Structure 1
Amino acid sequence: MLKQQMEQYIAERVQDNKIGLFDIEKEYAEKHQLLQEVIATEKAFHAQVFERCNKETEDLISTETAAFLNEPISYLKKQNNEFVYVESNIFELVRIDAIALEFDDVFETYTALFGLKLQKKFGDAIKTYLDTHLHGDNAKHSVMFSAEDGLWDVNFALGYVEGFNETQSFEEIYNMIYRFVFKLVEAIEEAQ
């Protein structure tokens, strides 16, 4: 699953024996000896779609540039009528379709919502991973399979992810979520 995707990812993107990888991807590739003579360099987060939207209507408020990634996630608390929607080809490796971030003013938590393209049979493994790796009293999450889309709708409070801080930038938050989901997919693969 993840190993095959990493092999394909490396094969398609290697240029002059170099490839850009996040640190978690590099660790995985080295662990599974996927790099051979390829040198891993650090890659940066980028998004193909980066939008601010109205929470009630889901109407587009603004399409954002990469500069918005430097804003702290606390922006959502100040603009609690908005959510941020991001699509990135970076997410494909861990089978995320897109990520929406919002501030839930009822529970006063920052929330990540995304679709995870894993088979229905992995439902218990996903839930167990979230139960084990979201830290804190009453760590909240929701996981529901959508037969219509063929993916898991995952929703969890970011405050329960180790290392979360509301002063972090959107870029840091997306990297944190990516790392968290990468480890989830890796754990499911290793349990098979």
Structure 2
Amino acid sequence: MLKKQMELLMNEQANLALIDVEKAYAKKHALLSNEEITETTTLHVDVIERCDKVTEELLAEETAVFLTTPVQYLKEHPNEFVYVTSERLDVIRVDSFALEFDEMFGVYSALFGLRLQKKQSEFLRTYLTTHLQHEKMTYSVAFSGEDGLWEVNLALDAMDGFSEVQSFDEVLVHLYRFVFGLLEELEAIV
């Protein structure tokens, strides 16, 4: 599943720049041609919206410059969440990311839909339990048969290397790497 998505990405993109985990995967699976592939530390985002947490009303559409803002912005604006989409998320089978500060648990959270089969329940829960460590809420997942995807809510604070002073850009790449690793591990056992 991941290999197919990576092949599609590499065939569709001219002047391809890969995130480190993508580049390592492409080398491991001999997907790279002799062309020089550059590495990127950012995720190209198509839509960036700040929304009200209660009403989900759009407060503002942002430009890529907003992504350089530290994620602690969410703690300073607890009534908001940030919604982002990117075509690149298709590689990791994610529809979009919504980031917020969860005042109830005192953690930063990422919410997203993950296109995995329902039968992957045990693997998904085991992976998240193994890779997320925090004294408070770490994650919740629920399968939506209507949408055919897992609705995932995970505490960013529980991810190794997360810091509230990281920019939204850095956090999005961190999340991308996390889900990429999940899919790579799943692919290895299926």
**TM-score normalized by the length of structure 2:** 0.96
Q: How high is the sequence identity, in percent, across the aligned residues?
A: 51
How many angstroms apart in 2 are the aligned matches of 1:125 and 1:164?
23
**2:4 alignment partner in structure 1:** 4
Alpha-carbon offset, residue 48 of structure 1? 1.1
Q: Does 1:37 align with 2:13?
A: no
- AA aligned to 1:10 is M
Residues 105 and 136 in structure 2, CA contact (< 8 A), matched pair in contact too? no
How many angstroms apart in 2 are the aligned matches of 1:118 and 1:61?
31
SS in 1 for 2:37: strand
**1:127 alignment partner in structure 2:** 125
SS in 2 for 1:112: strand
**1:146 alignment partner in structure 2:** 144
- AA aligned to 1:29 is A
SS in 1 for 2:16: strand
Alignment of 1:160-175 (within 5 A): 160-175=158-173
**1:95 alignment partner in structure 2:** 93
Q: Which structure 1 residue ranges, 4+ long, deviate > 4 Å from structure 2?
A: none
Tell me whether 37-46 or 156-165 shows the greater mean CA deviation. 37-46
Alpha-carbon offset, residue 191 of structure 1? 1.1
Tell me whether 33-42 or 64-73 shows the greater mean CA deviation. 33-42
For residues 16-64 of structure 1, what are the alpha-carbon distances to aligned partners after superposition, in whole Å with 9 as ceiling and x for unaligned?
xx52111110000001111032321123422111000000000000000
Structure 2 residue ranges without an equivalent (≥5): none
1:26 to 23, 27, 31: 23
Residues 19 and 39 in structure 1, CA contact (< 8 A), matched pair in contact too? no
Structure 1 residue ranges without an equivalent (≥5): none
For residues 127-154 of structure 1, what are the alpha-carbon distances to aligned partners after superposition, in whole Å with 9 as ceiling and x for unaligned?
1100100123355211110001110000
Residues 83 and 101 in structure 1, CA contact (< 8 A), matched pair in contact too? yes
SS in 2 for 1:39: coil
Change (3 A) 1:138 1:56: closer
Q: CA RMSD in A?
A: 1.1
